[in-house]
């Protein structure tokens, strides 16, 4: 789903990348809110099969998940009753602790799956929680319609029995697909660890940073 087709405002909530030389990614706290349109493009072609993740090493610490997702069967059953089809790549990832363990988070985010889709009154779609910040600062959701999906983010928790979205909450679009969100989330975390812990920087990470720095420089003129 493209950002302009989403009912939510497009923003990217993330940590700072100042240590990697990206001046526009400075934050005053754990997370900052950044313009989604200003993000560099993902530096590789995705194929809805997580092949890029299969090739990654498993980090020794900070993985977002290492155990089976016990809520997944209930979620699949609830979606089936509503006639909702979960993306295959979403299911493949949540069914595999091995793949989850390959993604680490510098802010200690972890897999947190809601057992039921959350209704969104007035909007054609449902929210399904799949990722949470350790301190409860932010939550990430699959936004699922009958024909498409995207990833959204909110400081509000949705996903318990009977929960529903109200106008009091703020939800923002942050990924055209589950795989594109997952790749950007993984890549930016790898950049953070490389920049802050002195780890080697991958070619994809270097390309991503260069694009950011080029865009920052053009905005200064």
pLDDT band, residue 179 (cuts 50/70/90): very high
Segment 107-111 shows an average pLDDT of 98
Segment 141-168 shows an average pLDDT of 85
213 pLDDT above the threshold of 70: yes
Higher pLDDT, 142 or 167: 142
Closest CA to 216 of 24, 41, 25, 20: 24
Residue 176 CB neighbour total at 10 angstroms: 22
Using CA atoms, how far apart are residues 62 and 58, in angstroms rounded to an integer? 10
Length of the chain: 221
221 pLDDT above the threshold of 60: no
161 pLDDT above the threshold of 80: no
165 pLDDT above the threshold of 60: yes
Q: Mean pLDDT over all residues of the chain? A: 92
Using CA atoms, how far apart are residues 215 and 56, in angstroms rounded to an integer? 28
Please give the pLDDT value at position 167.
Answer: 65
Please give the pLDDT value at position 169.
Answer: 72
Segment 20-31 shows an average pLDDT of 90
Using CA atoms, how far apart are residues 38 and 73, in angstroms rounded to an integer? 37
Half-sphere exposure of 200 (CA within 13 A, CB side): 4
* Digit-coded pLDDT (tens) for 134-143: 999 999 999 9
Please give the pLDDT value at position 168.
Answer: 60
Please give the pLDDT value at position 119.
Answer: 86
Please give the pLDDT value at position 85.
Answer: 95
The lowest-confidence range among 56-60, 180-184, 212-216 is: 212-216
* Digit-coded pLDDT (tens) for 73-84: 999 999 999 999
């Amino acid at each position: 789903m493209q950002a302009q087709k989403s009912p939510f405002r497009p923003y990217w909530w993330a940590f700072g990348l100042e240590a990697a030389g990206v001046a526009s990614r400075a934050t005053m706290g754990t997370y900052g809110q950044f313009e989604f349109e200003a993000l560099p493009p993902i530096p590789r072609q995705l194929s809805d099969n997580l092949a890029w993740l299969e090739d990654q090493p498993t980090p020794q610490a900070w993985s977002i998940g290492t155990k089976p997702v016990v809520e997944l069967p209930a979620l699949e059953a609830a979606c089936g009753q509503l006639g909702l089809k979960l993306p295959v790549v979403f299911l493949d990832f949540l069914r595999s602790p091995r793949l989850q363990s390959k993604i680490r988070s510098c802010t200690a985010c972890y897999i947190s799956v809601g057992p039921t889709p959350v209704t969104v009154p007035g909007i054609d779609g449902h929210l399904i929680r799949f990722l949470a910040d350790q301190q409860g600062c932010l939550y990430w959701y699959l936004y699922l319609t009958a024909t498409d999906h995207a990833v959204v983010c909110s400081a509000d928790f949705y996903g318990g029995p009977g929960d529903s979205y109200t106008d009091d909450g703020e939800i923002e679009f942050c990924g055209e697909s589950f795989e594109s969100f997952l790749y950007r989330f993984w890549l930016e975390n790898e950049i953070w660890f490389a920049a802050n812990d002195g780890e080697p920087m991958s070619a994809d990470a270097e390309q991503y940073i260069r694009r950011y720095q080029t865009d920052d420089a053009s905005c200064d003129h």
